[in-house]
Amino acid sequence: MAIKKLCAKCEKIIDIGHRYCKECEDSYKEIKKKNYRKYNKYKRDKKKQKFYDSKEWRTISNIVKSKDFGLCQVCLDKNIVKSSDIVHHIIPLDKDRSKALDKDNLICLCHKCHNKIHNDMKDNSKKKLIEEKLFELIEGRG
């Protein structure tokens, strides 16, 4: 007999290993899709998005992924092996556009670390320290 648990949304009984029942999963995906479309239409910075869609960005981000072996460098520093989802600008584009394609300003991160870094960067007193730590992580990668 398989182990069961409750759906996180409607509390139907489901197999362990799932978060939602089939109905809730489908509605969750639809809501997520709608929110993404709304974000793209009204909030996403079009100039930045054009940059991220460019051939130059795809090329340099692939180089960085290769140098970082496709692993989140923050997790790796904690001896956790986790694949990266994002190539992150240590010095943000809006702070220094000239570093946009500089591989020495880019680091591979997982979503969790990327979100934590952006959240922590809201505190101006932490910005410099975070940037220094990220530069240390990529130092000597080649």
Q: In this predicted model, what pLDDT tens digit does every residue of 52-72 receive, in sequence order? A: 999 999 999 999 999 999 999
| Range(s) of the domain holding residue 128 | 60-138
| Contacts for 108 with CB less than 8 Å, ≥ 6 apart | 64, 65, 68, 70, 71, 72, 73, 84, 86, 87, 88
3 domain residue, yes or no: no
Give pLDDT tens digits for 85-123: 999 999 998 899 999 999 999 999 999 999 999 999 999
- Specify whether 31 is located in the same domain as 65: no
4 neighbors 15 (Cβ within 8 angstroms): yes
4 neighbors 13 (Cβ within 8 angstroms): yes
- Specify whether 64 is located in the same domain as 48: no
Question: What is the number of domains present in the chain?
Answer: 2
Please indicate, yes or no, whether the overall pTM of this predicted structure exceeds 0.75: no
- Specify whether 64 is located in the same domain as 127: yes
- Specify whether 65 is located in the same domain as 134: yes
Q: Give CA–CA dist 97/52, Å, rounded.
A: 13
- Specify whether 80 is located in the same domain as 123: yes
- Specify whether 127 is located in the same domain as 64: yes
